[in-house]
Amino acid sequence: MNKKLLVIVPYRDRESHLKEFIPYITNTLRSQRIETKIVIVEQNEGKLFNRGLLCNIGFHLYNNWCDYVVFHDVDMICDIIDYSYSSKPTSLLRHRTKKNTIYDCYFGGITLFPKNDFLKINGFSNEYWGWGAEDDDLRYRCYLYGLSVLTRDGWCEDLELTTNDENRAKNPHYQSNLSKLQNLRNKKDKSLIDQDGLSNVDTYFKIISQSQHSSHTLVSVKV
């Protein structure tokens, strides 16, 4: 039986990217013959962007529909990528062809999880505000729970031209994010994971609106 894929796209203030992304992802998944639900989770203004929290919200709301999930940045359009099912957590992105090369152990951008594995690690942390480190936290959760992580040979065009240094400069909480990640690595304590993620995501958001489009569902949330 074919596996059902849930694609979750964390989003805010990238309308031009979204207009390019939606035709790309729908056409690509159609060509790969994968039954898919695409969910755009839009964060309202007022707080720093929280990618991990938005991914958790999308999964929390729609995981009953799927067998596996892909978390997908809206600014990544791929020349070569395979969205088919994997039995292990998998980074689908090895190369970014416009600018940055991918560092070893990169686990952001486009990441696939079997549904039960994402539940096992309690999803993303909800506490990484602004740019940086939520993807490294996610990979470390896999390590603590004994989940092997794979990488597929994906090639991607990055629509966002800002560098990592520019992103760090925009986020006044970047050092706090790094400290949180280092605390988890130092303590290696699963209870820190169990208390922060899917288990308490419903306390972090309120749905503003939900709209169904021909190609995707848009959920706007206040966090």
CA atoms within 13 A on the CB side of 163: 4
pLDDT at 203: 97
pLDDT at 36: 97
pLDDT at 39: 98
Query: Which pTM does this prediction carry?
Result: 0.93
Q: What angle do CA 172, 118, 12 make, to 5 degrees?
A: 40
pLDDT at 158: 79
Per-10-residue mean pLDDT, the chain, length 223: 94 94 96 97 93 98 97 93 96 66 71 98 96 92 95 82 65 86 92 95 97 96 97
Q: Report yes or no: 43 and 223 within 8 Å, Cβ to Cβ.
A: yes
pLDDT at 72: 97
pLDDT at 216: 97
Residue 58 is part of which domain span? 5-222
Beta strand 68-72 with 90-91 is unpaired
Q: List CB contacts of 187: < 8 A, sequence separation 6 or more.
A: none
pLDDT at 163: 61
Q: Which pLDDT tens digit goes with each residue over 34-92?
A: 999 999 999 998 899 999 999 999 999 999 999 999 999 999 999 899 999 999 999 99
Domain count, the chain: 1
Q: What is the DSSP string of the chain?
A: -PPPEEEEEEESS-HHHHHHHHHHHHHHHHHTT--EEEEEEEEPTTS---HHHHHHHHHHHHGGG-SEEEEE-TTEEEEE---S--SS-EE--SEESSSPPPPTT---SEEEEEHHHHHHTTSS-S---SSSSHHHHHHHHHHHTT---EE---EEEES----HHHHHHH-TTHHHHHHHHHHHHHH--HHHHHTSSGGGGGGS-EEEEEEE-SS-EEEEEE-
CATH number at residue 211: 3.90.550.10
Count CB neighbours of 86 within 10 A.
18
